[in-house]
Every structure is written in structure tokens, then in C-alpha cells.
Amino acid sequence: MDAMVRELSYAQAIQEAMAIAMEMDERVFLMGEDIGVYGGAFQVTGDLVERFGTERVIDTPISELGGAGVAVGAALTGMRPIFEFQFSDFVTLAMEQIVNQAAKMRFMLGGEVSVPVVMRFPAGSGTGAAAQHSQSLEAWLGHVPGLKVIQPATPYDAKGMLLAAVADPDPVMIFEHKLLYKMKGPVPEGYYTVPIGKADIRREGRDLTIVATSIMVQKALDAAATLEAEGIDVEVVDLRTIRPMDKQTVIDSVKKTSRLMCVYEAVKTLGIGAEVSAMIAESEAFDYLDAPIVRLGGAETPIPYNPELEKATVPQVPDIITAARDLVKGVR
């Protein structure tokens, strides 16, 4: 590794991105429950209140609908708010402001306004937080025209995509898997962006394309390492952006490998994998397929509190290995 490139945790990368954005542009400010002195439910905002003051790091009342409304209104006046939800599950309380207001204002007003708001959602299972604090709801927001929905899977992308989101004129929803917050990786100093709407090939392969999102990218890479020892060469595509989706990268990969598996933590039915599968079925890549497409998603159940049951409801590395092996060997 280049000695000039530091390693930061995913959470540190996000905090650094917010600090850089606030230093560069006085219109950028933070909002959210307990993000001030407490530093955020997952300690992501850290000491930013000490650095920037309470007028730019604002503790909001316990009202997601109210907070989202303030953020959308501030964006309409030219500010660039970053609004943190304590848990992604609480987006359900703010859907009116996100879906009916933020997503539609530019369209309904003929492009005369923009809504440059960023909303951050700690998402996913694995912390023992049970059914109301462990969901993966990114497909809900990905269904809405006017929103951009991203899922950074590495510290590098977390920083670069957040900075790209702050600069974007449209509302950007960032889903951050809670188990990734402690993950460390190389993160350059200073300002850089990672483009929204562009997937990344994390590992090249010839036998099977795995399209993964968020924490499932790392699990897919771990599975690929095991499968390599068996002579199965897996290509791992990190989707990174749910909307707008980078269709061409996925199409090109499937045309090369002739097999596709979609791996995501959210409930399988109507999830991101369904959209990817349909997109391939409607594209020229369909004629290249040597086997049916496989979706490996979460179980059709709320997330349990019991840790072993919790693990069983979402794909794990052994599940990916088994499904990939069966797909390549023609068991499915």
C-alpha cells in the first residue's frame, strides 16, 4: 500500500467527508437526533459539534417527519443539509417529505428549483437490534423517480460518494450498513469524489457474475476466495448505486461470464435483485446466459432478536458459496 494513503474506518471516512464539505461550503450543515454532544447513535458525527458549533451541527427533536421537512425546506432555500436518521427503519416516519416533496419538487416546478439534501441511513442487521431497527429498505426509495440512492461498501467509497452527494443538485439517500462502520480501508486525504451511478468491478472472473450491494460485497469477495480454490472464478460487481443503476457494467459482466447471481440483505421479494434480474432478462445479455439467474436475498420475515436466527435470515458467506457452486455446476 502507498505509504501516503492512510487507513480509516468507514465511520471515520464519513465523518471526514462531512467535515471537508462543511469547511468548503458554509451552506452545508448537519441535522439529526443526538448528533451533537453525543456524537450520533453510531458515533459517526463524533466531535463535529465542537469543531463547527451548534448552529451547523443541530440536534433535532425526536420527529423524523419534522426533521426531514426542515431539511427539505432548507435545501429549497439554497442550503445543503445532511440529515442523519438514527436507524434506516425510521425512514417510514418521513416518507411524506422524502417521496412526495423532495423527490418531486424539481419536476413539479419545471426545473426551476433543486433539492440538494443528503439523508444518511444506518441500515441492516447484525447488531441484535431486532425487527424495528435492522431492516434494509433501500429498494423502497430506489423505486421513487427523483431520488438518488447509494450504498457505499468501503471506506474509500463512503467518503467519496458522500462528497459527491453533497455536491449533487438532487436528493441523495445514503444507506450505510451498521456492520461496516468499523471496517478499515485506504482513504486518501483531502477532497475527492466517487461518481454516483457507476458500479465497480471488485474482482474479475470468468465463470459467474455476483452482483452485490453494501456489506454483501465483502461477503461475496470472501466467498469468491473460497470458490477460487475449487476452480470457480467469480466476478464480483459492487452495484454501489441503486438509483440510477449502472446497467451497462452488469450487462457486460454477464455477457462475459454467462451466469448471474444477485446477493443482497434485504428481503428477497421485490428487492434489488429482482430489478437486476429483470434488467438482464430485457437486455442482450439474456442470450448469453447458460443458466437461470439466481437471487440470494433475505428471508421473508422480520429480523429476529436472537443472534443465531438473525444470521439465518440474511445471506452469509457459506450460503453464497453453496449457491454459486450449484449455479456453476448446473445444480440449479
Grid look-up 452485490 returns 212
Residue 64 is among the residues annotated as catalytic for this protein: yes
Q: Which of 16, 33, 84, 133 is catalytic?
A: 133
Q: How many helices (H) and strands (E) does the chain have?
A: 12, 14
Strand residue runs (E) in 184-300: 184-187, 200-203, 208-212, 234-238, 241-243, 260-267, 294-298
What is d(CA 61, CA 276) in angstroms, rounded to the nearest whole number? 38
Helices 317-329 and 215-228: angle between axes, nearest 10 degrees: 50
Question: How many CB atoms within 10 Å of residue 130?
Answer: 14
How far out from the chain centre does Cα 234 lie? Answer: 22
Contact 151, 200 (CB under 8 A): no
> Residue 186: is the preceding peptide bond cis (ω within 30°)?
no
- Is residue 133 annotated as part of the catalytic site, yes or no? yes
Residues 6+ apart with CB under 8 A from 313: 125, 298, 299, 301, 303, 304
What is the distance of C-alpha 37 from the center of its chain?
26
DSSP character at residue 94: G
> CA 9 to CA 303: how far, in whole Å?
26
The residues assigned a catalytic role are 64, 133
